[in-house]
Structure 1
Amino acid sequence: MRSRFTPLLFLLLVAPVFSSSSSSRPQWVLQRVPVVLAQQTEARSVPHFLSPARLDVDSPCDPECHKKAPRPSYWDLRRLLAYETLHSDGQLTETAIGIYGYDPSPDTSPAYSAPPPGKAGRVRRKRQIFGHDGRFSIAGQDFLLKYPFSVAVKLSTGCSGTLVGDRHVLTAAHCVHDGKNYVKGAQRLRVGFLKTKQRDTRASSTNYTNHVEGGPGPYDPPTDDKMKFQWIRARRTHVPKGWIKGNANDIGMDYDYALLELKKSHKRRHMRLGVSPPAQRLPGRRVHFSGFDNDRPGKLVYRFCRAGEETSDLLYQHCDAQPGASGSGIYARMWDGRRWERKVIGVFSGHQWVERQGASREFNVAVRITPLKYAQICYWIKGNFVNCREG
């Protein structure tokens, strides 16, 4: 049974969390991040765009596999964080980067290490609903066009994304590149924004508030039959070489993220980036994300769940999701010293089903925004490192 967006859930989502003192509030802890700076850009062969788009990605490397993997060296990280840029005219460039002010102790993103012989089994797909379906379909312009739901966008390749700048969208790398080639449609990539076809007067935010607070007036459930997508072309797409160096199963999802620069500003409020805190510091150890799951066409689907295991680069959880939700921004809501603020701390990558030594485990996986990844993505957005030193 599909869950609908309820008044109680709305109050839980938007109401501030009260506490006896500011020290007891879960807080964003700003930290000094390293500098990831472009050094040299060279032209590459024009891609063929022959690969079918993938809406999900698997990996045979489970959390233990990642935890046991050797740490990358400084030179490894320079290769992994170098990036390709696909331009809307089909041209492709590759940019080498330098890393400055990097301390390996707080950010020890593991490189991929193949599972020991006999440890890895076949990877298979399985439905991505864990028990009761806990997703909520968001309906009605009074919610779809308001923050934080308004930051969720749809990619023309079938994935989701999140607004992180005036004209920038964070998504999963596999939505535009399969690890070896750029997918069909990547050159003419478009980003879809839900907007109204015409004014819908059947449900207003005032009527909703009155209903929630026990005031007069019957509550007319919101509908989204008057919503449509407005599409904006992408000007440039940045993908880290850590994703492109092999295929998805070779690198264990660690670099499954990409940034799109749109041809024009979207004129909506965007969500700020944040360095992913340890799971135990998240309020209720909980993460949230919204995306356009394929089994609910045209619907924006919101979900939240408790974060599970984590490595330096990945966050494992059992949030219900289906293909199409890949690329959604994983976010948390904490106190920044002045107000409660949501920040994107990861990118939803997909489902992972691993069989090892006869035992099966399954996860949904998100790529965490580490200090180095924050520095890189922020540089892509800002075009400089001066405004990217704290995350």
Structure 2
Amino acid sequence: MKRVNSYRRLPKQACLAVIGMALMASGCGAKTESPKTEPAQVQAAPEPVTVKFFPTLPFSDEDFDKIVVQPVKKLYPHITIERHRTSLDNILTTGDIPDIIQTHNGELQRYMDLGILSPIDDLVKKHDVDLNRFDPVVIDSLRTEDGKLLGLPYAINFTALYYNKDLFDKFGVPYPKDGMTWLDAIEVGKVMSRQDGGVTYRGLDPENIGRIVRQMGMDYSDSKTMKSTMMNPNWKTMFEIGKAIYTIPGNEVSDVNGDYLKSFFSGTIAMTARVNVLDQLEAPTKQGLNWDLAQYPNIPGIPNVGGDVDPHMLVIPPTAKHRDAAILVAKAMTHDETQLLMVKTTARLSPLKSAANKEAFASEKPYLQGKRLDSIFKNHPIRSPMRTKYFGQTGPIAKEAFKAYVAGTIDLNTALRQADEKINAYLAGQAGK
């Protein structure tokens, strides 16, 4: 039998009476529990803090405001940025340690020895810094041998082959192509090195031997053994490439360790292979330099490697007063929005994996429109070594040996052996210091 709910049998008037009695009972004497509500948790506003920021690399006021000050103001309004305009020596002397230092990875070992650098893994974990957003080879290059992270990159350098289109047109030579090896570039350099109308034109400038060295991820000494690396066979390859460039007839220079970028700007160098100089090309472009770029030449047998990781990075001293605020500054500088703005307007390369950053690269730099910027991304960086704190002292020893080799006063084996002996002697003299 179909069950019928009993309330359906009551007359309409009875139903209303029952409801009325229930309402009266609820309003007279009957106590009911009101739902308990927890008091709203009010998040206390962070205490205002001033972070001392010390740039050791070129950082224009305009870019500093764009990449540091404004992003921090937007994301962490309780933080005020104070730009430290001093020297590292003054910081060490006075003990006025900044909260964050902008530097490059070649300084990491020296900073550790000076006591102004320590791992930031605790801060990364505490403040949820997502390292998976970064190119892993870049992050790995900033780790110690036991895997501790020493800093956070906000930009990375790249290499390219810049060339003067007017000179190639003038001499009827095809423009440089992507995918060339150094041997290919040298052959083009031979064709472009000449005198014309009383002007000497150099065909190829490699910046310096130190830039080529970075294509093999080399340091002049090993940070583990504290011994010279000059007897590594890779040095022979690099010295030979360098000499082949500087001994092209008509391509000679007075000092192979000099920098001849201004000669490219003035129109007397056909090709220069070097690190990012896009920010320096605005004025020459407006003055009539008709240039473009191609993929940086590869070492034969090692395709598509432009160099080792060369980052602009942020480190936080262990004795900084505001380490937590400092990592928030680093987060703001590596925020997606900040990075996109940076690559669009400053032509810096982002360390993030984002494809959008590559697509937008230099898109708001009018003088770079129409340039073959995609050539930059055909090379990739390799892991850089942990350079010793004596990088600045051992490099010149190797470069002087290279200079003598190019000049022909010593042969290749002698040059490498003498550099090896001098570097080892120097390092031995520093032991225990």
Do the two structures share a fold, i.e. TM-score over 0.5? no
Normalization by structure 1: what TM-score?
0.21
Q: Select the structure of larger CA radius of gyration.
A: 2
Structure showing the higher strand proportion among its residues: 1
Normalization by structure 2: what TM-score?
0.20
Structure showing the higher helix proportion among its residues: 2
